[in-house]
């Protein structure tokens, strides 16, 4: 299991660093991908291991996904459908995992895109109700049978921490092989951002919503003061040695 996806990493990486299955030039591509999909998945796993090892003193690991947003299904869905009409799309984003459910069944899927505009009567207007799934549904869903759509994610800021740390590890690999000096300032910056968020979690400044505490489990965590850490300030030195 992992706390982020390949798309999360692609959103962070610069455009000249790509993840894919073609590491050498092909007929359809003038340039091969910088990192293969299997290698990128390995770095996601390493980053997940690191995060689990640090927060396991406070939370049971591995962490579990939670329902962050739940909205009503406004239109019935037939089997093999990719169009979802809901009452509010503001909490959803492309690449996010969703859970579709009504009284007759449920299944998981992924948001492929969110249509911001539609055409009505020749006029382009804002659309706040339409999600497109990355793959067709297996079942049918009835809006009148308690049909709902939920966004299923790991608690913030775990996904972005994992993606940043995996990117930092990948940049170390790229620079050791191809560059002088053999360390990336961008990778150092990403790692520093992860340390800042990790310290905030360990000190109690950030609570991982929906996760079970393994210490002080019978006491409300908000009753305790935040723990002071030895490292209080982290320097983010992008572009500096």
Task: Return per-residue pLDDT of the chain as tens, 241 residues.
Answer: 789 988 889 888 888 888 888 777 765 556 677 888 999 999 999 999 999 999 998 899 999 999 999 999 999 999 999 999 998 888 898 888 999 999 989 999 999 988 766 555 656 555 668 899 999 999 999 998 899 999 999 999 999 999 999 999 888 877 766 655 556 788 889 999 999 999 999 888 898 999 988 865 556 655 655 555 555 555 656 555 4
**What percentage of the chain carries pLDDT values higher than 90?**
47
Report the pLDDT value the prediction gives residue 241, as an integer from 0 to 100: 45
pLDDT at 22: 77
Residue 223, SS3? Answer: helix
pLDDT at 240: 52
- For residue 129 the two structure tokens come to 């109700």
Contacts of 155 by beta carbon, 8 Å cutoff, 6+ apart:
63, 66, 208, 209, 210, 211
What is the pLDDT, as a whole number, of residue 227? 53
CB 162, CB 51: distance < 8 Å: yes
Strand 19-20 versus strand 35-36 pairing type: parallel
What are 106-148's pLDDT values in tens digits?
A: 999 999 988 766 555 656 555 668 899 999 999 999 998 899 9
Domains of the chain, earliest start first: 6-63+156-223 (no CATH), 66-153 (2.40.30)
Determine the length of the chain.
Answer: 241
Cα–Cα dist 66/95, whole Å: 16
131 beta partners? 84, 114
């Amino acid at each position: 299991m992992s706390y982020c996806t390949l798309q999360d990493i692609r959103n962070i990486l610069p455009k000249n660093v790509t993840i894919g299955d073609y590491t050498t030039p092909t007929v359809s591509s003038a340039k091969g991908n910088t990192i293969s999909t299997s290698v990128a998945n390995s770095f996601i796993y390493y980053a997940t291991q690191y995060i689990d090892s640090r927060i396991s003193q406070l939370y049971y690991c591995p962490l579990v996904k939670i329902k962050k947003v739940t909205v009503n299904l406004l239109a019935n869905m037939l089997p093999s459908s990719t169009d979802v009409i809901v009452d509010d799309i503001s909490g959803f984003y492309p690449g996010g995992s969703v859970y579709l459910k009504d009284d007759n069944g449920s299944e998981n899927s992924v948001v492929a895109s969110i249509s911001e505009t539609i055409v009505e009567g020749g006029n382009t207007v804002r659309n706040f109700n339409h999600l497109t799934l990355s793959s067709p549904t297996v079942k049918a869903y009835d809006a009148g049978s308690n049909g709902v759509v939920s966004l299923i994610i790991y608690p913030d800021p775990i996904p972005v921490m994992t993606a940043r740390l995996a990117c930092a590890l990948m940049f170390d690999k790229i620079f050791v092989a191809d560059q002088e000096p053999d360390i990336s300032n961008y990778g150092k910056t990403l790692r520093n951002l992860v340390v800042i968020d990790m310290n905030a979690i360990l000190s109690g400044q950030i609570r991982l919503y929906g996760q079970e505490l393994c210490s002080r489990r019978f006491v409300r965590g908000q009753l305790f003061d935040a723990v002071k850490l030895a490292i209080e300030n982290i320097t983010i030195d992008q572009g500096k040695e």
